Amino acid sequence: MSTIHIDGAGQAAEFHEVVQSVSITHLLQQRGAVLERLERAFNLLQEAHEMAISAHLGFPNIVASKDYRGHGQDVVGKLATEGEALRACRAAIDATAWRYLMQESGMRSLMSASKRSEFDDQVSKSLMPELTREAVYATFGALHESRAEMFDQGVIECFKKLSWVYKTNLPQKFGKRIIVSYLTYTYGINSSAADRLDDLMRVFHVLDGKPEADYRQGCYAQLGTAFREQSAWPKSYQNDYFELRLFRNGNGHLRFKRLDLIDALNAIIARHFPNALAAPR
């Protein structure tokens, strides 16, 4: 994460390392230019609509939608004068901008799975504030201040999602090995269990100082390839951080490679559960 560009706003120092390589001034200027052109276009459509009606001509239903899925449709010719179509377009423009800023800030990699889901839900339901300089500062300033706590929460969530049924899984710490239950089905990989491994991988990448892996190359895709290409059980998979054996009963036996990172995870867990300190390996 590098320094935010404020372009003469005089507040760059307050938001050091908040949004990577993004000029907020340029982004907001482009947003304003897009909205200005849309408003002109809507006014022309409204004028054309009124001309058609007065001349007893037909006019098509031209629809503006908040997003590509068609949520929140507004008929431009009918509603443009009330500003609803422009508001729908502004919501779509701002939603994509908030997602972009979150990704570029690097904060998404520090978020727990629940916080990511909460943010995505707020964006999809247009609950985020209108994209202004003040809103960007407030949102990312608060996230930057809470980044350590936010990352710890992600570690704890990841820790709690793992199964403690088996003796290799220790309820007070991560050990050298864990067993992930319900990782495979008869015909493939359980996506929910693979998501838990992706959460663990995200934590490892952050602790290792590496960027988060492309979600398209996440555990679900990688394990699915191993599942399809290997005929004999147990099937195996490994990456830089763990080795995994997939068994016919659905379990995955996982052995960690980077015990230094496991120590770092356990130190975080110990801070939050001081009465359940991890025993030495």
Can you tell me the distance from the alpha carbon of 89 to that of 95, in angstroms, rounded to the nearest whole number?
10
Which pair of structure tokens corresponds to residue 224? 């699915």
> pLDDT higher for 270 or 20?
270
pLDDT > 70? residue 187: yes
pLDDT > 70? residue 183: yes
Region 232-245: what's the mean pLDDT? Answer: 95
pLDDT > 90? residue 28: yes
Region 141-166: what's the mean pLDDT? Answer: 82
Q: Report the Cα–Cα distance between both ends of the chain, in Å, rounded.
A: 34
pLDDT value of residue 21: 64
pLDDT value of residue 158: 85
pLDDT > 70? residue 222: yes
Can you tell me the distance from the alpha carbon of 205 to that of 258, in angstroms, rounded to the nearest whole number?
11
Can you tell me the distance from the alpha carbon of 227 to that of 218, in angstroms, rounded to the nearest whole number?
14
The structural domains of the chain, with segments of one domain joined by +, span 12-144, 150-272
Provide the pLDDT confidence category of residue 126 given band limits of 50, 70 and 90.
confident
- pLDDT tens-digit profile of 33-80? 999 998 898 888 889 989 999 999 998 877 666 554 444 444 444 444
- What's this model's pTM, rounded to 2 decimal places? 0.74
Tell me whether strands 252-256 and 235-238 are parallel, antiparallel or unpaired: unpaired
- CB contact at 8 A, 18 and 140: yes
pLDDT value of residue 241: 96
Q: What is the DSSP string of the chain?
A: --PPB-SSSS-GGGGTTSSTT-BHHHHHHHHHHHHHHHHHHHHHHHHHHHHHHHTT------EE-SSTT-TT-EEHHHHGGGTHHHHHHHHHHHHHHHHHHHHHHTHHHHS-HHHHHHHHHHHHTT-SPP--HHHHHHHHHHHHHTHHHHHHHHHHHHHHHS--SSTTS-TTS--SEEEETT-B-SSSB-HHHHHHHHHHHHHHHHHTT-PPPPGGGSHHHHHHHHHHH--SSSEEEE-SSEEEEE-TTS-EEEEES-HHHHHHHHHHHHHH-TTSPPPP-
